Amino acid sequence: MTFDEQIDRTDTHSQKWDMMEKIYNVPQGKGLPMWVADMEFRPPACVQNEIQKMADHGIYGYFGDDRAYLQAICWWMKNRHGWDVAPEAIFTTHGLVNGTAMCIDTFTTPDQGVVLMTPAYHGFAKVARASGRRIVECELALVNGRYEFDIAKWDTQMTGTERLMVLCSPHNPGGRVWSKDELQAIADFCVRHDLILVSDEIHHDLVYPGQKHIPMTLAAPGIMDRLVMMTATTKTFNIAGCHSGNVIIPDEALRAKFAARILALGISPNSFGVRMATAAYSPEGAEWVDALMAYLDENRRIFDATIAEIPGLVSMPLEGTYLAWVDFSGTGMSADEMRTRVEHQAGIATNYGATFGAGGEPFMRFNIAMTRAQIMDACARLRSVFADLQ
Ligand SMILES: Cc1ncc(COP(=O)(O)O)c(C=O)c1O
């Protein structure tokens, strides 16, 4: 298995590569996309073989018989995360933005608020806003260069009309892997304000050596009556295009409500997502993830070392995820100047911090899940366009 192979993704209907010019005006051929959260790597052979098997068979009918799929999920969660999942608690959605939207739709009414801890993955606000819900932005505190919860302040923001909170664990952006105490504090907060907690753990496999992700079910077993867990193979194995996610609901009453909405909206799994996930959640998949994290760890080291050389730039220490979160506030530059240098001069497409909500404004998010040659290229470009600061 090699992560060094550079695979040309132009003209493959890739959002990250083929929309870069249109959205950022960063030219094809010259640009380096570090925005959309997918990786430049092929998934493990077990996933490729499954797709090949489907193509060889050549019949793409309706999916049925999910026993192997449910068993694979239970195996993965037990083996990789020490979490016992009951197969009947698992729903399959069309990804986790869809899962979040389904939870908001099922568990809240339009007059109720949705609580987000910002800066937060922009997909949450996008679906909450589109469904007409009020968003309550609870800003994370920046303490010694990394995010912490600011629960005493958040308590004062609650009005009694909020109904659901989305937790991102590990956190995107910022890469925090929350501790057991922090997770327990969130659970207590949700109990105090009577909130359903949707724990988006899509990045749970992508944690760096020395870090341990704790599933919310294990951190706070006392809140099963208000907890929705969300996981997926898509980030872990770079198969986001198959648009498949797991929404896992331990509580029977919540599960019945969710099942009713799934039924009402006519949602059923797509066979590509389910079969890829079944193949991925395997010992071979696990070995591939271990190798991936070792590779990403070195990318992280290289990228952080470069950012550390540029006065005024600070990269938040990534504990998990491949999404580096760089604070430009020390440069005193406006958002426009940051963009001019990074996009137009360096030719790098990133995600703007402001799109992640309150607190994100002075940041840019860089996706470092690329080949070593690409990350070196990115670092050289950044060093060059900020050379005047050094
Ligand atoms: C925290 C989080 N949730 C959900 C998603 C997207 O999930 P999906 O592609 O399954 O809709 C992302 C993508 O970056 C993410 O970071």
121 lines ligand 1 (CB under 6 A): yes
In the reported structure, the alpha carbon of residue 203 is separated from the centroid of ligand 1 by a whole-number distance in angstroms of: 8
Residue 280 and residue 234: Cα distance in Å, rounded?
Answer: 10
Indicate if 80 and 147 belong to the same structural domain: yes
127 lines ligand 1 (CB under 6 A): no
Indicate if 298 and 262 belong to the same structural domain: no
Residue 119 belongs to a domain: yes
201 lines ligand 1 (CB under 6 A): no
* Per-residue pLDDT tens over the stretch 248-278: 999 999 999 999 999 999 999 999 999 999 9
Instruction: Name the nearest CA neighbour of 242 among 265, 276, 289, 280.
Output: 276
Inform me whether the pLDDT recorded for 204 exceeds 70. yes
* Shortest-distance Cα residue to atom 10 of ligand 1: 95
Which structural domain range is residue 88 located in? 59-282
Inform me whether the pLDDT recorded for 1 exceeds 80. no
Indicate if 155 and 191 belong to the same structural domain: yes
Residue 326 and residue 120: Cα distance in Å, rounded?
Answer: 14
Q: Which of 282, 303, 331 is the last residue of a domain?
A: 282
* Under 8 Å between Cβ of 274 and 190: no
37 lines ligand 1 (CB under 6 A): yes
Indicate if 207 and 293 belong to the same structural domain: no
Inform me whether the pLDDT recorded for 390 exceeds 80. no
Indicate if 65 and 192 belong to the same structural domain: yes
200 lines ligand 1 (CB under 6 A): yes
Q: What is the mean pLDDT of residues 118-125?
A: 98
Q: Which of 249, 282, 315 is the last residue of a domain?
A: 282
The single residue listed with the structure tokens 């099922």 is 106
Q: How many domains does the chain have?
A: 2
Indicate if 167 and 202 belong to the same structural domain: yes
In the reported structure, the alpha carbon of residue 97 is separated from the centroid of ligand 1 by a whole-number distance in angstroms of: 6
pLDDT of residue 28: 81
Indicate if 165 and 124 belong to the same structural domain: yes
202 lines ligand 1 (CB under 6 A): yes
pTM of the model: 0.97
Indicate if 122 and 183 belong to the same structural domain: yes
Mean pLDDT taken over the chain: 97
pLDDT of residue 29: 86
Residue 166 belongs to a domain: yes
CATH number of the domain within which 208 lies:
3.40.640.10
Q: What is the mean pLDDT of residues 99-128?
A: 98
CATH number of the domain within which 375 lies:
3.90.1150.10
* Per-residue pLDDT tens over the stretch 128-187: 999 999 999 999 999 999 999 999 999 999 999 999 999 999 999 999 999 999 999 999
